[in-house]
Amino acid sequence: MHDIKSIRDDAPAFDAALARRGLTPVAAGLLELDARRRGLQTALQEALARRNEASKAIGAARAKGLDAQGLIDEVAALKERIRELEDSERAAASALDTTLAELPNLPAEDVPAGADERGNVEIRRVGAPPNFTFAPREHFELGEALGLMDFAAAAKLSGARFVVLKGALARLERALSAFMLDIHTGEAGYEEVAPPLLVKDDAVFGTGQLPKFAADLFRTGEGLWLIPTAEVPLTNLVRESILAEVALPLRFTALTPCFRSEAGAAGRDTRGMIRQHQFAKVELVAITTPEQSAAEHERLTRSAESVLQRLGLAYRVMLLCAGDMGFGARKTYDLEVWLPGQNAYREISSCSNCGDFQARRMQARYRPTGEKQTRFVHTLNGSGLAVGRTLVALLETYQQADGGILIPAALQPYMGGLDRIPPQAG
């Protein structure tokens, strides 16, 4: 959510920033709505002030036993005008808010230009893609051959884009989750949270999925939303609050299932676990000051990267261009892991600095030490990591010619000491 005042202050800069996202100018229309709203508000407030003044005089006159009929008539006449002004003011404010709520965040200055993923810039590459003496298979071939990954069974239960994991692969998902959480809650200092998976409209509005992306979410009959990411409950932990500066930064991590309708993804990644309606993810969220958020963004990204490094997975870090960023982000790094079966880098984490964009929607503020005025916090989030896709990368990276899967040393304690998933006998 943008501050209309900042648009008032520099409309051309606002439109120029939106243009970097490929959007047409909107500032002029917004300012017109804003001027109308403020005019109505001033008129309303003047009417209310007069009503308050006259009502007080009526009370005083009554107390002295004087006649106040003239004042009573005046206020009665004001009532209708107040009602009209209230309705008009509300309509104007609502029109302005509706428009503002659907505008994405502005890209940071150091975000490269570009309309789509072809404009993204590679920042660094870590680890070398493994060499194989055989043609590496895709994860679903490996998983199904092991008899531990069953898409057909999932389809019977739930339809397309679900999977059933069994045995060592079910364990592997649990192991990866615990491994990631331990990394983030350890030296990185994130506090582990077990949040609700069903949330209200306000929460989903706060992080920016509503109102524009309702079609991407699942909604219960009772009107609650299944979280598409733990970013929603974790970030909303600070909604409508005023934090002391010394309490910042707040760093939260959570393992949750994530639910996405994938409405616009028909035909993409239809095979395998890459794109599912439900997947596990360990999320990282940080709440900090405007001064600290850029550094916090780097720190958060490094925490996510450290998971890949300890698992020995090759990856690259991409700085997203203005046209490829998500709705709430002002700057985003994507981590892309190497998938030997696909012979490609695929997104496994997206780490974004949202600036004060979500904080405004949530009314999440802090009070700088020694100051009276409050300011909006900056919010950041990133996957650390998508567990399902990590499992995919692990299978494809550590596959053996016989169909078995080696378990990286760092993960073995979480697998009960197992060092490889053996190929299915027979």
C-alpha span between 227 and 219 (Å, rounded): 9
Q: Is 50 a catalytic residue?
A: no
Residue 236: CA count within 13 A, CB half-sphere: 22
- CA dihedral defined by 110, 105, 201, 270, rounded to 10 degrees? -60
Token pair 């439900």 in the structure block, residue: 278
Q: How far is the CB of 368 from RNA (least distance, A)?
A: 12
Which residue, 50 or 302, is less far from RNA as judged by CB? 50
- Segment interacting with RNA (CB under 7 A) among 25-33, 36-44, 163-171, 184-192: 36-44
Residues 159-218 that bind RNA (CB under 7 A): none
Of 6, 45, 94, 270, which lies in the binding site for RNA, with binding defined by CB under 7 A? 45
Three-class SS of the chain: CCCHHHHHHCHHHHHHHHHHCCCCCCHHHHHHHHHHHHHHHHHHHHHHHHHHHHHHHHHHHHHCCCCCHHHHHHHHHHHHHHHHHHHHHHHHHHHHHHHHHCCCCCCCCCCCCCCCHHHCEEEEEECCCCCCCCCCCCHHHHHHHHCCEEHHHHHHHHCCCCCEECHHHHHHHHHHHHHHHHHHHCCCCCEECCCCCEECHHHHHHHCCCCCCHHHCCECCCCCEECCCCHHHHHHHHCCEEEEHHHCCEEEEEEEEEECCCCCCCCCCCCCCCCCCEEEEEEEEEEECCCCHHHHHHHHHHHHHHHHHHCCCCEEEEECCHHHCCCCCCEEEEEEEEECCCCEEEEEEEEEECCCHHHHHHCEEEECCCCCCCEECEEEEEEEEEHHHHHHHHHHHCECCCCCEECCHHHHHHHCCCCEECCCCC
User: Contacting RNA (CB under 7 A), which of 1, 17, 26, 44?
Assistant: 44
62 binding RNA? (CB under 7 A)? yes
The yes-or-no answer on residue 240 being catalytic is: no
Does position 94 interact with RNA (CB under 7 A)? The reply is no
State yes or no: residue 46 binds RNA (CB under 7 A).
yes
The residues in 223-242 that bind RNA, with binding defined as CB under 7 A, are 242
| Single residue of 6, 42, 158, 424 touching RNA by CB under 7 A | 42
Q: Does 101 bind RNA (CB under 7 A)?
A: no
- 53 lines the binding site for RNA (CB under 7 A): yes
| Binding of residue 41 to RNA (CB under 7 A) | yes
Active site residue 352: no
First CA to last CA distance, the chain:
59
**Cβ closest to RNA, residue 101 vs residue 418:** 101
Residue of 36, 102, 347, 360 with catalytic role = 347
Q: Which of 411, 393, 421 is nearest to 145 (CA)?
A: 421
- Residue 164 or 198 having the CB closest to RNA: 198
State the minimum distance, in angstroms, from the CB of residue 128 to RNA. Answer: 47
- Which stretch, 45-53, 108-116, 149-157, 263-271, contacts RNA (CB under 7 A)? 45-53
Residues between 350 and 389 that touch RNA (CB under 7 A): 365, 372, 374
Q: Which residues, 238 to 297, sit near RNA by CB under 7 A?
A: 242
CA 378 to chain centre: 13
Residue 347 among the catalytic residues: yes
Report the nearest approach of RNA to the CB of residue 338 (Å).
41
Minimum CB–partner distance for residue 58 and RNA (Å): 4
Active-site position among 37, 161, 251, 260: 260
Nearer to RNA, 241 or 343 (CB): 241
The reply to whether 260 belongs to the active site is yes
Query: How many residues contact RNA, by CB under 7 A?
Result: 28
Q: Which is nearer to RNA, 75 or 313 (CB)?
A: 75
For RNA, the binding residue among 75, 108, 227, 364 (CB under 7 A) is 75
Q: Please pick, from the candidates 6, 52, 94, 98, the single residue that binds RNA as defined by CB under 7 A.
A: 52
Please report whether residue 343 would count as binding RNA according to CB under 7 A: no
- Residues annotated as catalytic (active site), given as ranges: 260, 275, 347, 350, 389
State the residues that interact with RNA by CB under 7 A.
4-5, 38, 41-42, 44-46, 48-49, 51-56, 58-59, 62-63, 72, 75-76, 79, 242, 365, 372, 374
